[in-house]
Amino acid sequence: MGALSGAHPIPLVALVGNPNCGKTALFNVLTGSRQKVANYAGVTVERKEGALLTPSGSRVRILDLPGAYSLDPLTPDEQVTADVLLGRRAGESAPDFVVCVTDATNLRQNLRLVLSLRRLGLPMVVALNMTDIARRKGIVIDAERLARELGVPVVETVGVKASGAKPLIEMLDSAAIPARTAGAFEWRTPTSADIEQDQAEVRRILGAVGGDRIDGVTFSDKLDAIVLHPVLGPVILAAILFLVFQAVFAWAQVPMDAIKAGVGAFAAWIGQAMPESLLKGLLVDGVLAGVGSVFVFLPQIIILFFFILLLEDSGYLPRAAFLLDRLMGSVGLSGRAFIPLLSSFACAIPGIMATRTIQNPRDRLATIMIAPLMTCSARLPVYALIIGAFIPRRTLWGGLQLQGLVLFVLYIAGVAGAMGVAYVLKRAGAASRFQALMLELPTYHWPSLRNLAIGLWQRVEIFLSRVGTIILSLMVILWALSSFPAPPPGATGPAIQYSIAGYLGSWLAVIFKPIGFNWQISIALVPGLAAREVAVGALGTVYALSATGEDVSGALTPLISHSWSLPTALSLLAWYVFAPQCLSTLATVKRETNSWRYPIIMAAYLFALAYLGSFITFRVATALSHLG
C-alpha cells in the first residue's frame, strides 16, 4: 500500500474541492454509498465517511467533505473542511492523503484551490472530474502536462459512472504516492495579492495544458437568457411549481385507488379468516386502519420527489433562488437561505442542516426559525386526506383541478407565513443588514436517470421505514390506549370513549374546541408530534374504533367527510400549515444552535400561530356557512 500505510493502520483519504465539482458523486462510486448528490453548491454540509476496498485488498477510509472555495472558511460547512485538513478536528489527525477533486470544465476557478492545498504539504492527487462533460464541450486537457506543471499526480475521473473512478482507485492502490513532504506547517491566510499571484500561476498552467477555453455563449447561457429573464423567468417558475401540485393529485389517483382497494381487501380477508379476538382488533383497527391510511399516500410522495429531484439535478434550483432573491431580501433573508428553505419542503431536518452554508450567524438563525413553515412532505398525507374528503374533484378553467389548486394555496400559505415571520425577525434585529448572496449558478445538466431512480428509491425506503417503524409502533400504542380499559358493562357508546385515549381526547378537546376540533382530532394531534403523517394514521385508528357496526370499511375519507363540518376541515388544514414541529426537528434545531432556547421559542411561536390561524379560519368559515 506504499506511502499510504503510514502511522495509521487504515489510511484516511479526504476528498476536497470547490462546491459542486462532484466530490460526493465520486465518493459514492468509491465507497458504494448513496449520499445525496445534486447540481448545486452546498449539498454536502457534513463530514461523511466510507470505506474502499482496493483491488489488492487493502482498506482505505474515504472522507467526503463539504465543498470550499478556499481553506479560509467563512461558513460553518467550510469550517468542517478546513478543520479536517488542518488536523484541527478534535480526536482526528489530518488525513494521510488528499484527493483534490476538480471540475474539468471549470479549472480556471478550481486550480486555485489545488495550489492552496499543495501548500499544505499533504500527499495529494488531483482528480480531473467530469471529463465526460468537458470532452463533450470540446475541452481537451493534457493531464500528463498538468501533472508535470503542478508537480502532483493527475487522474481523470467521471463521478457519475460506476467505472469512472478506476484510475483513482488504481492510484490509491499503488505505491506511487509521494510521501508527506513537510511535517509541521503553519497555515497562513492568503492576502488578495497572494490570490492574484495564484491566479497568474493558474493562467500560466492553463496556457500550457489547454482547457482554458472561455466559451462565448454556451447552451447554459442561452437557457439562462430565458430562465433568468426579468419577466419570463418568474412566469416559468410559477408554471413549474403549479404543474408539480397539479400532478401530485392528477397522477396519483390510479395507484392510490389500487392501494386503498388492496388494503381494504386485506382487511376484509382478515375479518373473515380470523376469529374475533384482541389480536384481530389490533391488526384490523390498529395496524391496517392506522398504517394503511398513511401508506396510501406513497404515490403522491413519489410524484412530489420526482419533480424535486429533477429540479435539483438539472441545475434549476439556484436559478429559482436568483429569481426570488429580491423577495427574500425584502423580508431580510439571505439569498443563501433559498436552498435550505427549499430542502425543507422534503423535510425540515436536512433544510436546517443546509443552513450551514450561510455565513452570518444571525441570518442563519433567522433561516432556521422559519424553515419548519415550509410544508414538509410528511404534511402531504394530512393535506391530501382532508382535501380528498372535502374539496370536490372539479375541473376549473383550462383543465385546472380544484384539489391541486387548494394544495398549491396551502404551500403558498406556508411560504407567506415564513416571509411574515422573517419580516418580524428582521424588525426585531435578528438579521444582518447586508446579506450575502454570492451563489454559484452551475451549468445545466440533463438529469441522470440513474440518479433519479436511486433518489426516488431512497424516498420510498425512507417512507416505508417510517411507516414500518415509528408509525407502526405509535399505532400499536394508540390502539392499546384506545382499547383499554374496556367499557363498563351496559355501556352504550363506542368502547374508545371509555378508554385512556378517550378520556385524554375529551380533555384535549376542551383546548381545541374553540378552533373546531372534536375529540378524535385532538387525540390524533398528539402522536402527530412524533411524525406528522401519524396524525392521519391516528385518525384512521381512532375512527375505526369509535365507529359502530358496519361503517368501518377501512377507508377514512368517507368517514371524516360525514362526521366533520367544512369549517372543522379547513381549520385543521390551517393548523397543519403552522403546526408545531415534530420532535426530531426540534432536536435538530437544538443541535444546530447548541441551545434549548431556540427550539423552545420555535415550538411556542408555531403553536401560537397554528392556534391563531385555525381560530380565524374556523370562525370565518363558520360565519360564511351561516350566511350561505
Provide the binding-site residues for other proteins, judged by CB under 8 A.
Answer: 69-70, 72, 74, 105-109, 112, 192, 195-196, 199, 203, 214-216, 220-221, 224-225, 228-231, 233-234, 318, 321-323, 325-326, 329-330, 335, 359-360, 432-442
Strand duo 59-64 + 97-103: pairing: unpaired
Contact 614, 580 (CB under 8 A): no
Contact 552, 544 (CB under 8 A): yes
DSSP-derived 3-state class of residue 128: strand
Cell 385515549, residue? 501
Residue type, 140: V
Least distance (Å) between residue 131 CB and other proteins: 15
Contact 598, 362 (CB under 8 A): no
Cα 99 to Cα 210: distance, rounded to the nearest angstrom: 22
Least distance (Å) between residue 437 CB and other proteins: 5
Rank residues 33 and 70 by Cβ distance to other proteins and give the closer one: 70
Cα 483 to Cα 230: distance, rounded to the nearest angstrom: 60
Least distance (Å) between residue 17 CB and other proteins: 14
Element (H or E) spanning 50, and its range?
strand 48-53
Rank residues 322 and 578 by Cβ distance to other proteins and give the closer one: 322
Least distance (Å) between residue 526 CB and other proteins: 42
Least distance (Å) between residue 416 CB and other proteins: 18
DSSP-derived 3-state class of residue 379: helix
Cα 284 to Cα 303: distance, rounded to the nearest angstrom: 29
From the CA atom positions of the chain, what is the Rg in Å?
28
> Other C-beta atoms within 10 Å of 137: how many?
16
Least distance (Å) between residue 323 CB and other proteins: 8
Least distance (Å) between residue 198 CB and other proteins: 9
Least distance (Å) between residue 113 CB and other proteins: 9
Rank residues 122 and 328 by Cβ distance to other proteins and give the closer one: 328
First to last CA, the chain: 81
Rank residues 30 and 333 by Cβ distance to other proteins and give the closer one: 333
DSSP-derived 3-state class of residue 72: coil
Rank residues 183 and 216 by Cβ distance to other proteins and give the closer one: 216
Buried b (16+ CB within 10 A) or exposed e, 270-299: eeeeeeeeeeebbbbbbbbbbbbbbbbbbb
Cα 407 to Cα 245: distance, rounded to the nearest angstrom: 7
